[in-house]
Amino acid sequence: MSLLHLAIISPLILAIFIPFVHKTFPKIHTGWFLLPLPVLLFAYFLSFLSTTINGQTTMETLAWIPTLGINFTVRLDGLGLLFAMLITGIGALVVLYSIYYLSKEKEKLNQFYVYLLLFMGAMLGVVLSDNLIVLYAFWELTSFSSFLLIGYWNHRERSRYGAQKSMLITVFGGLSMLGGIILLYLMTGTFSISEAIVLADVIVNHELFTAALLCFLLGAFTKSAQFPFHIWLPDAMEAPTPVSAYLHSATMVKAGIYLVARLTPIFALSGLWIWLVAGIGILTLFWGSFNAVKHTDLKGILAYSTISQLGLIMSLLGLGAASLHYSTIDAGFYTVAVSAAVFHLLNHATFKGSLFMMVGIVDHETGTRDIRNLGGLMTIMPITFTIAIIGAFSMAGLPPFNGFLSKEMFFTGMLRAQEIGFFNMGTLGILFPIIAWVASVFTFIYSMIIVFKTFTGKFQPEKLKVKPHEAPLGLLISPVILVSLVVIIGLFPNLVAPLINTVMASILPGMEFDVHIYHWHGFNTELFMTIGVILAGILLYKFMPKWTGVYTRMPERFSFNSAYDNGLAAIQKGANRFTNAYMTNSIRTYLIYIFAFFIFTLGTTLIVKNAFTLDTSNVASIHAFEVVLVVIIAVGSISILFAKSRMTTIILLGAVGYSVSLFYAIFRAPDLALTQLVIETVSVALFLLVFYHLPKVSRHEETRQFKMGNAIISVGVGVVVTMIALSAHSGKAFDSISQYYIENTYKKAAGENMVNVILVDFRGFDTLFEIAVLAIAALGIFSLIKLRLTRGKEQ
């Protein structure tokens, strides 16, 4: 295990200790014990920065299930490093923020931080694993920890609803991704991503290629909340705000982006990939930004804004993938889309993270997030207002912040879509810049709503639960750091250019890049588009009441949310009805299912497969007293059916049991004979003891029909068992393995009684578990009788 492996699982290890630490030091906020870890990890990953930028890839392997080609291989390249630094860097800021956000008296901090660490480790695992199966395992773990974090305030109905929704949708995507992984394995014979990339040209014409592609994209789209799977993200906002800032804007929802970026070299040779990724991305961009405007909850606006920004990055990745179809020289024309995607990914994490934290502060200090109740906070919370302005203006794409730069690059990428000379891009490609422009106008509008509806306008203290004031320093540190990054990257974008270069090398392998980000491109189309966005945005913002009626035109009934709710209800109802149809709560019915299945499968197999054989050559001799015993057992077992009293039943059962033990003696099984004899004695005593408390054996007025049904089934079982017994004796498929025991009983175990040696030595495990079962049965009996008595006394 290398240090890199340790870095990935270190959050999981720390998670084990959190509950103990929480209990031991209740006076200290648990977050403080957590904080050093992401800081250290961030520093650790930062140390890889220079070597990775020089094109070096670090790879470490830990054998897990080598026979199946599943190894815990860690591969640290540019893409992985960028994500790892985002996860640990934002993670550290979020933990710091949460220390001031979550009260140590009121909240179950031990649970919260365990979930958070679980997520951090899982997310690191996703972005650093080279093996797809390992990636999948970590992927599901992120869904799982996200579920726990959304449902953290589990006394709220909305929290539980949101948690379930996100779980169902992302796990559905995760499962289809697993299908994709298996299909990819069938095509390439490897679970390793880096090995599969080498085979990309070979598999593109494989018949399973399209299926694998769709499966992977389903996984990526559900995780990254792409249209129409975006519906889970707004409901995920029920999570505490630090979680929303971390999982649902900066890291987890970008796992889908990561997957698409990582798999681009494998799948991008297909036109379907480019169309789907770019098309769904641009659709999500529009739909998210359009819907964000109608919301009044600040977190709701941010959720839809996140959806739309994720769509933006997704569409850029899709268009940029087209460059893989061109020779190196022409490709540079299209790679700008990918560099925009990477750049915007980084920028989005900074400005959206800070905006979420800003909303958290507003919520924390005023008690509401509804913009209808907020307003005029500018003078009361000046620092928060500054954070909001920088974050929102960057999101709207205004200079001089980093969002402006990536938005310009985004327009460039979209404009060049028309130049792509295949897959109908030439004709339909014109749609990309148009939709992008419209979506950007809406982005501008909701960015303005976030700032101006909250901080300007009329201050309404009567609508607030608490008296607002500026947030404490601790809450402000993290967002201030993030907005400083927004400004710094905005002013000196080329600080991050080498990193973007390296990340692009992972997405588009084998190409040369020289990313250089300019503030001023001259008066080109992109600049005019931005100016147009600002003008149109301001106009629409001013006259908002005039046109927001369009939102009410869309009936709630036809939304994706109601489709999800109705679908879920229908599935539950159907499952209930189906289960109730055969689960009748009658033991007899269940037994009939079992016996009928037994007769049907074994009987038909015996006949269809011609398995029934009868061989009378190799049989043991029959003595007269053996016949007597057979008759006793047969008559005894049949007469139990007609026994009227309990005593007769016990005596008959005992007679059968003792005769069976005699059979054991005849058949050279002295151990069995002895055991059966003693067991039978103890059992009879037991039956007598219990029957003392029980009613008479009654038939409960069984009808003729009832009896006939029973008779048919039991005769069927008897016949099938007889046939099996005969065939088992007659046909020997292979030699008995008993010779081994006969030979080695003395040699290896120094015993002479083979049965006993098998029990205590050769197959001791069976015996160990057997006595464990016995002990459990005894405990069950004890608790059934004794524990009830004590409870009765209490009442």
Partner 1 sequence: MMKTNNVILETATKVIVFIILLFSVYMFFAGHYEPGGGFIGGLMASGAIVLLLIAYDIKTVTTILPFDFKKVTAVGLLFAAGTAAGGLLFDKPMLTHWFTYVNPPLLGKMSLHTAVLFDIGVFLVVVGVTMTIIQTIGESE
Partner 2 sequence: MEILMSFLIGIIFMSATYLMLSKSLLRIIVGTGLLSHGVHLLLLTMGGLKKGAAPLLGQHAEAYTDPLPQALILTAIVIAFGITALFLVVAYRTYQELGSDNMELMRGKEGNE
Please classify residue 584 by burial: count the beta carbons closer than 10 Å to its beta carbon, then call 0-12 exposed, 13-18 middle and 19+ buried. Answer: exposed
**169: which 2 tokens?**
């949708």
Nearest CB to partner 1, comparing residues 41 and 758: 758
How far, in Å, CA of 506 to CA of 79, rounded? 6
User: 710 and 718 in contact (C-beta within 8 Å)?
Assistant: no
DSSP 594-610: HHHHHHHHHHHHHHHTT
- For residue 697, the partner it binds in partner 1, partner 2, none, with Cβ less than 5 to 8 A by kind, is partner 2
Site for partner 2 in 571-610 (CB under 8 A): 576, 579-580, 584-588, 591-592, 595
Report the 10 Å Cβ neighbour count for 752: 9
How far, in Å, CA of 534 to CA of 262, rounded? 35
Site for partner 2 in 610-639 (CB under 8 A): 616, 619-622, 626-627, 630, 633-634, 637-638
Q: Kindly report the CA angle at 80 between 76 and 85, in degrees rounded to 5? A: 105
Which amino acid appears at position 234 of this protein?
P
How far apart are CB 603 and partner 2 at their closest, in Å?
13
How far apart are CB 172 and partner 2 at their closest, in Å?
25
Nearest CB to partner 2, comparing residues 383 and 672: 672
- Give the residue carrying structure tokens 């080609």: 69
Report the 10 Å Cβ neighbour count for 3: 10
Site for partner 1 in 731-790 (CB under 8 A): 749-753, 755-757, 759-761, 764-765, 767-768, 771-772, 774-775, 777-779, 781-782, 785-786, 789
DSSP conformation class of 696: P
How far, in Å, CA of 500 to CA of 507, rounded? 11
Comparing CA positions, the residue from 553, 278, 551 lying closest to residue 432 is 278
How far apart are CB 754 and partner 1 at their closest, in Å?
10
Question: Applying CB under 8 A, does 772 fall inside the site for partner 2?
Answer: no
Please classify residue 285 by burial: count the beta carbons closer than 10 Å to its beta carbon, then call 0-12 exposed, 13-18 middle and 19+ buried. Answer: buried
The window from 483-491, 541-549, 562-570, 674-682 that contacts partner 1 (CB under 8 A) reads: 674-682
Nearest CB to partner 1, comparing residues 635 and 774: 774
How far apart are CB 156 and partner 2 at their closest, in Å?
25
Phi/psi-derived region of residue 592, left when phi > 0, alpha when psi is between -120 and 50, beta in every other case: alpha
Report the 10 Å Cβ neighbour count for 771: 10
- For residue 726, the partner it binds in partner 1, partner 2, none, with Cβ less than 5 to 8 A by kind, is partner 2
The window from 39-47, 161-169, 470-478, 678-686 that contacts partner 1 (CB under 8 A) reads: 678-686
User: 273 and 321 in contact (C-beta within 8 Å)?
Assistant: yes
How far, in Å, CA of 184 to CA of 213, rounded? 9
- Tell me if the bond preceding 400 is cis, omega within 30° of 0: yes
The mark string for 633-672 relative to partner 1 (x by CB under 8 A, - otherwise) is -------------------------------------xx-
Please classify residue 29 by burial: count the beta carbons closer than 10 Å to its beta carbon, then call 0-12 exposed, 13-18 middle and 19+ buried. Answer: buried
Residues contacting 199, CB < 8 A, separation 6+ = 187, 188, 190
How far apart are CB 756 and partner 1 at their closest, in Å?
4
The mark string for 694-733 relative to partner 2 (x by CB under 8 A, - otherwise) is xx-xxxx-x------xxx-xxx-xxx-xx-xxx-xx----
Strand, helix or coil at 301?
A: helix
How far apart are CB 766 and partner 1 at their closest, in Å?
10
The window from 167-175, 647-655, 685-693, 716-724 that contacts partner 1 (CB under 8 A) reads: 685-693
Among 608, 689, 694, 733, binds partner 1 (CB under 8 A): 689
Nearest CB to partner 1, comparing residues 688 and 715: 688
How far apart are CB 406 and partner 1 at their closest, in Å?
59
The window from 46-54, 73-81, 453-461, 784-792 that contacts partner 2 (CB under 8 A) reads: 784-792
- For residue 772, the partner it binds in partner 1, partner 2, none, with Cβ less than 5 to 8 A by kind, is partner 1
Question: Applying CB under 8 A, does 664 fall inside the site for partner 2?
Answer: yes
Among 678, 708, 712, 728, binds partner 1 (CB under 8 A): 678
Among 428, 544, 781, 787, binds partner 2 (CB under 8 A): 781
Dihedrals phi, psi of 617, to nearest 5 degrees: -75, -35
Among 418, 675, 730, 744, binds partner 1 (CB under 8 A): 675
Q: Torsion angle of alpha carbons 79, 80, 85, 88, nearest 10°? A: 150
How far apart are CB 650 and partner 2 at their closest, in Å?
8
Question: Applying CB under 8 A, does 672 fall inside the site for partner 2?
Answer: yes
How far apart are CB 62 and partner 1 at their closest, in Å?
24
Among 26, 600, 671, 708, binds partner 2 (CB under 8 A): 671
Site for partner 2 in 635-654 (CB under 8 A): 637-638, 640-641, 646, 649, 653
Nearest CB to partner 2, comparing residues 381 and 758: 758
List 129's β-bridge partners, or say none: 74
**20: which 2 tokens?**
């103990």
Chain contacts with partner 1 (rule: CB under 8 A): 670-671, 674-675, 678-679, 681-682, 685-686, 689-690, 693, 749-753, 755-757, 759-761, 764-765, 767-768, 771-772, 774-775, 777-779, 781-782, 785-786, 789
